[in-house]
Chain A
Amino acid sequence: MAALLARAACCLDEDVEPTRIAKWPALRQLTGRDRLGRGAAVRSPHTEAASPRTASAERVVASICPYCAVGCGQKVYVSAVNGKDTVTQIEGDPDSPVSRGRLCPKGAASKQLVTTPARQAKVLYRRPFGRAWEPLSLDAAMDMIADRVVAARAQTWQDERDGTAVRRTTGIASLGGATLDNEENYLMKKLWTALGAIQIENQARI
């Protein structure tokens, strides 16, 4: 019985150091205002330590929701977790005149978009007629792609069509842009146009 009481005297959490008998909630019930053991007397170390994890973020970065064209403001909280920068929370930016801090379920899930393990972080390569993905270094991939662009362009170059100059290739096409930044679309359009590629399209068409 004594041993029993002695053990009960501490807060009995695996992670928490046993504390003095004075911290025994039942005793605090008797000695304090919280006779029924509903509040002050029974608080645990976990409760006492509660604070928002965002308060300890290393930095808070202003961002914009990546999903839809409403363009809600986001605040991105970054902390080092196991020595690695990690997004620990993304929530609405109350300062935004667009969204006033609010987010829809997609915006509210955007931390998961960034941190989900479903995200592929390595280059994958499938050779012609291949049955499986293979690894490939980014550098090699970039070179292979550049080679293919140059070759395809050379093969399919049209100087003219029906007697008029067209100076283009229809052997290369590109699709996408609505999820990208303006700067990215700008470089793409610039590069494609210089390459003479015209079949450049994005979601605005669909």
Chain B
Amino acid sequence: MSEQPQVPPAEFQSYYGKPILKVSRWREPHLPAYLFLGELSGALAVVGAAADATGRRSLARVARVTAALGAYAGGAFLTAELGRPERFLNMLRVAKPTSPMSMGSWILASHSGLASAAAASEVTGLLPGLGALAGAGSAVTGPLLAAYPGVLFGNTAVPAWHEAHREITMLFAGGAMTAAGAAGLAASAVSPDRRDFDAAWKLAMIGAAVESAAGYGLETRPGKSGEPYRTGNSGRVLAAARYLTLSGGVAALAARRSRTAAAVSAALLTGGGICAKVAVLRAGKASAADPAYVVASQRPAEEPDPAMAAPA
């Protein structure tokens, strides 16, 4: 180093190493399950509409029914996550653009309404027009449902979430596609009419690519707040997510020829998707639990350089 810095890098200071932030109270499996089911439902709603429009009836049917089920199951996990589940409906007491969860609740409520209407029509064959309309509607709410959780995480004080909100948002968008793709793959493994599912296989591969890229983005995020995505338990789970997703994507290539491959791919992709959610949750908790992340994110200039921190 050519010259002494004006102010020697301050040793990182904290209050007995205690967290500055509160560690998120969100739990496993509730929250990752909700996120996964939500994005699954969201993407499948789009898939359902697209399949309907392109005449992939089997896929449309599977997508719509699963989208509806996913929305309700996701809602159930979300409700279970609440401290006062019986007050779930208070989510609709207000509509706050500043609250991704409020927006998300409205999206989820309308999405599940639309998706279930579409699914009901699909299953019963009643009111097909309205069903198609609802399906089309859910194709609008679906992407929102899949994408908003990125903001949900981003709009917190947790450094690993707030600062990585872009990557997380993309991770979830990719995850939505893989999840939907995986659902299609799984269905194709058992469906008599496998040709309908070609789009799902493709979607799975696209999703896997986006999700892996976003995951990579997270892992390679510069700076202290990217650390939990590289290190520790959350880092390992994220890496696992990436391996699962990538191999799931590769396996999807063989889905056309092999029902087993389709099933394996679906499982890998689902596992990858869920692991990614778990990793994000855990990374956030890790970054909230260690005051170093908070201080570093707010005093970037004084972030200790590991090379310089070594004792002389």
CB contacts (< 8 Å) of A14 on chain B: these are 86
CB contacts (< 8 Å) of A49 on chain B: these are none
Given known A1-B113, A4-B109, contact A41–B94 (CB-CB < 8 A)? yes
B98 in contact with A42 (CB, 8 Å): no
Q: Which of A1, A11, A36, A38 contacts B93 (CB 8 A)?
A: A11
A36 in contact with B113 (CB, 8 Å): no
Question: Within 8 Å of chain A (Cβ to Cβ): is B310?
Answer: no
| Chain B residues near A (Cβ < 8 Å) | 86-87, 89-98, 102, 109-110, 113
Given known A1-B109, A1-B113, A12-B87, contact A25–B93 (CB-CB < 8 A)? yes
Name the CB-closest residue of A to B116: A1
Complex-state Cα separation, A138 to B110, whole angstroms: 70
Question: Within 8 Å of chain B (Cβ to Cβ): is A24?
Answer: yes
With an 8 Å Cβ cutoff, the count of chain A residues facing the other chain is 17
A8 in contact with B113 (CB, 8 Å): no
Q: Which of B86, B89, B94, B98 contacts A25 (CB 8 A)?
A: B94
Complex-state Cα separation, A117 to B263, whole angstroms: 63
Complex-state Cα separation, A53 to B93, whole angstroms: 29
Name the CB-closest residue of A to B86: A14
Given known A1-B109, A1-B113, contact A36–B90 (CB-CB < 8 A)? no
Question: Within 8 Å of chain B (Cβ to Cβ): is A5?
Answer: yes
Q: Nearest 7 A-B pairs (CB), nearest first?
A: A8-B92, A37-B94, A1-B113, A37-B96, A25-B94, A26-B95, A8-B89
Name the CB-closest residue of A to B114: A1
Question: Within 8 Å of chain B (Cβ to Cβ): is A29?
Answer: yes
CB contacts (< 8 Å) of B89 on chain A: these are 4, 7-8, 12
A12 in contact with B90 (CB, 8 Å): yes
Query: Can you list 9 pairs linking A and B with CB atoms under 8 Å apart?
Result: A4-B109, A4-B113, A8-B90, A12-B93, A25-B93, A26-B92, A37-B94, A37-B102, A42-B94
CB contacts (< 8 Å) of B92 on chain A: these are 4-5, 8, 26
Complex-state Cα separation, A7 to B91, whole angstroms: 11
Name the CB-closest residue of B to A11: B93
A37 in contact with B90 (CB, 8 Å): no
Complex-state Cα separation, A94 to B95, whole angstroms: 45
Q: How far, in Å, is B68 (CB) from chain A's closest CB?
A: 13
Complex-state Cα separation, A16 to B97, whole angstroms: 27
B113 in contact with A37 (CB, 8 Å): no
Name the CB-closest residue of B to A30: B95
CB contacts (< 8 Å) of A12 on chain B: these are 87, 89-90, 93
Interfacial residues of chain A within 1-60, with CB under 8 A of chain B in the complex: 1, 4-5, 7-8, 11-12, 14, 24-26, 29, 36-38, 41-42
Complex-state Cα separation, A53 to B94, whole angstroms: 30
A29 in contact with B94 (CB, 8 Å): yes
B97 in contact with A42 (CB, 8 Å): no
Known pairs A4-B89, A4-B92, A37-B102 / 5 extra A-B pairs, C-beta < 8 Å: A8-B89, A12-B90, A14-B86, A25-B94, A26-B93
Complex-state Cα separation, A7 to B95, whole angstroms: 15
CB contacts (< 8 Å) of B91 on chain A: these are 8
